[in-house]
Amino acid sequence: MIAADPPRHTRPGEPVAPVATEPTVDPAQPHGPLVKFHAPEVVFGVGSLGEAGYAASRLGARRPFVVTDPGIVEAGWVAELLSLLREQRLSPVLWTGVTPNPKDHEIRAAFETYREQEADIVVAIGGGSCIDAAKGVAILSGSGGDILDYAGIDKMAGPIPPLLMIPSTSGTGADVSQFCIVTDTERHVKLTIMGRALVPDVSITDPRLLTTMPAALNAATGLDALTHGIESYVSLAHNPLADGHALNSVGLVVGHLQQTISHPRELEARSKMAQASLQAGLAFTNAILGATHAMSHQVGGLLDAPHGVVNGVLLPHVIRYNARAVPERFIGLARSAGLRVDGMPGEEAAELLAIHVRMLGDEVGVPRGLRELGVTEEDIEILADTTLEDACLTTNPRAASRDDIRKLFQEAL
């Protein structure tokens, strides 16, 4: 309780000196950690691609550099975007040389074109690979050097150009995240570049773009979103602002992924999966991830395997592993997935969740083991070594040694 001020006697017109009182909050008794929540401007909904020209103009564009891949061009979305940019009297520069799991040499080549064409803002339309490649161009524009120099956290020295991201898949969350994932083609590993500057300025999510995804890509990116939601919720860096997004994304994926595969043109389910991807992205860019992603990055770098599919194979095993450290966190996740776990011990809830994730993988056609993706017994040793270098492992809720990681890979074969 704050004590009453003692009586003070002053002459008329004399200023009253302040009297010290006890603080209302004792600094020695913290009431919770400070939380920063990073997010771009988000434009969401059917037809929102129509806002792209206005958004680019607001960001100061004259010659926007558009990064995409041949599949998005073929689907017709790039032509629509370029038309919208030109309606705003902009002169877009198009780059289409992106492949899945964007390579270091692709980003170098894209940046050379960006520089030669004197482009300004960077626009990506496509999946996570296009968005990561676009971020790579922005990094080199601001800081020079080679893209591999920036692996790690906050290695960028200079400011980067404005970023406008337009996702065409429902899972990667790259359009709202502070991550950029690049494949080192010499070492055959994926490198994680992380920094607040990589959170895009504007994210435009139009569920129409999701309707042209191949079914396999739809399944893979959906399981990626599910992994983002689960890993961010149990991460050592989880926080109350991210938790709600994580839980909601899990429920949305479990409730709507299968429907988007069986009815790919149905926009209501597509909108729900687009929301799942967005919320999972907001969760993991603020709470980071865990062992599933640390391991998955290595398989993708070694074999150029689809990231979301690898996540789908690894996730049930990592759930069981992490449940021994934070069993109570899996009760909320299991409940969000629609499982009846009230009154159940956390490890039992985690086991039900792991089984449910595997069943969802079966329903959408994800292999049951890494061997089907080309991983061999001989690969496990190098995969375990490179996993230990991945930044995502630092926020896994249960510490993992090289032997722990090796065993997880072995279980997932």
- The single-letter DSSP state of residue 103 is B
Handedness of CA 89, 95, 96, 102 (dihedral sign): negative
pLDDT above 90: residue 31: no
| Higher per-residue confidence, 237 vs 17 | 237
Residue 5's Cα: distance from chain center in Å?
53
CA-to-CA dists, residue 369 to 270, 312, 357, angstroms = 28, 10, 14
Look up the pTM and report it: 0.90
Mean pLDDT (the chain) is 92
- If one looks up domain 41-208 in CATH, what number appears? 3.40.50.1970
pLDDT grade for 109, boundaries at 50, 70 and 90: very high
pLDDT digits (tens, 9 = 90+) for 229-270: 999 999 999 999 999 999 999 999 999 999 999 999 999 999
User: In the prediction, which pLDDT does 379 show?
Assistant: 96
For residue 346, the model assigns a pLDDT of 97
Q: How confident is the model at residue 21 (pLDDT cuts 50, 70, 90)?
A: very low
Q: Which two tokens stand for residue 236?
A: 């050592």
Report pLDDT digits (tens) over 176-194.
999 999 999 999 999 999 9
pLDDT at residue 32, rounded to an integer: 67
The pLDDT tens digits for 345-379 are 999 999 999 999 999 999 999 999 999 999 999 99
Indicate if the pLDDT at residue 86 is higher than 60: yes
- The string of pLDDT tens digits covering residues 308-352 is 999 999 999 999 999 999 999 999 999 999 999 999 999 999 999
Residue % of the chain over a pLDDT of 90: 90
User: Which sequence spans correspond to the domains of the chain?
Assistant: 41-208, 214-412
Q: Percent of the chain, pLDDT > 70?
A: 92
**What pLDDT, on the 0 to 100 scale, is given for residue 221?**
96
pLDDT of res. 364:
95
The backbone torsions φ and ψ at residue 156, rounded to the nearest 5 degrees and listed phi first, read: -75, 135
Quote the pLDDT of residue 6. Answer: 34
**Count, residues in the chain:** 413
Going by pLDDT thresholds of 50, 70 and 90, the confidence category of residue 36 is confident
For the segment 89-109, the average pLDDT, to the nearest whole number, is 97
Between CA 189 and CA 151 the distance in angstroms is: 11
b/e per residue 192-203 (b: at least 16 CB within 10 A):
bbbbebbbbbbb
CATH of 214-412, one of 1.10.357.10, 1.10.1040.10, 3.40.50.720, 1.20.1090.10: 1.20.1090.10
